[in-house]
Amino acid sequence: MNALLKPSFRTLLCALLVASALPAWADVGRDEAAAAAQRVTAGRVLAVERAEPVWRVKILSAKGEVRVIVVDAASGRVVG
C-alpha cells in the first residue's frame, strides 16, 4: 500500500469504528421514541414530549383509551 494512503486509511478506519459505536451513546429521537411506544401499545400517537431523562409518548388506542408510555431517552427502552 502506498505510504501516503496509510495514514488516511487509518483515520478513515478509526472514524468508521467510532461512528459504528455512536448509537450506544446517542440519544433517542422523537420518532424513535414514538415507534418504541407503538410497539408496546398499538394506536395513534397524540404527543411526544421530552422530560429528561425520558420521552413521554401519549397514544390513543383503538378502544379510545389514552395511554402514556415512558421511553428512556438514552437507550430507547420502554420503562413505563
Task: Report how far residue 15's alpha carbon sits from residue 73's, in angstroms, rounded to the nearest whole number.
Answer: 25
Q: Has residue 45 been placed in a domain?
A: yes
Q: Has residue 78 been placed in a domain?
A: no
pTM for this structure? 0.67
Q: Flag whether pLDDT at 1 surpasses 60.
A: no
- Tally the domains of the chain: 1
Q: Which of 11-15, 44-48, 55-59 has the lowest mean pLDDT?
A: 11-15
Which pLDDT does position 80 carry in this prediction? 87
For 1-80, list the strands marked E by DSSP. Answer: 44-51, 54-60, 66-72
Banded pLDDT at 3 (limits 50, 70, 90): low
Q: Has residue 80 been placed in a domain?
A: no
Q: Flag whether pLDDT at 73 surpasses 90.
A: yes
In the chain, what percentage of residues exceed pLDDT 70? Answer: 68
Task: Report how far residue 21's alpha carbon sits from residue 16's, in angstroms, rounded to the nearest whole number.
Answer: 9
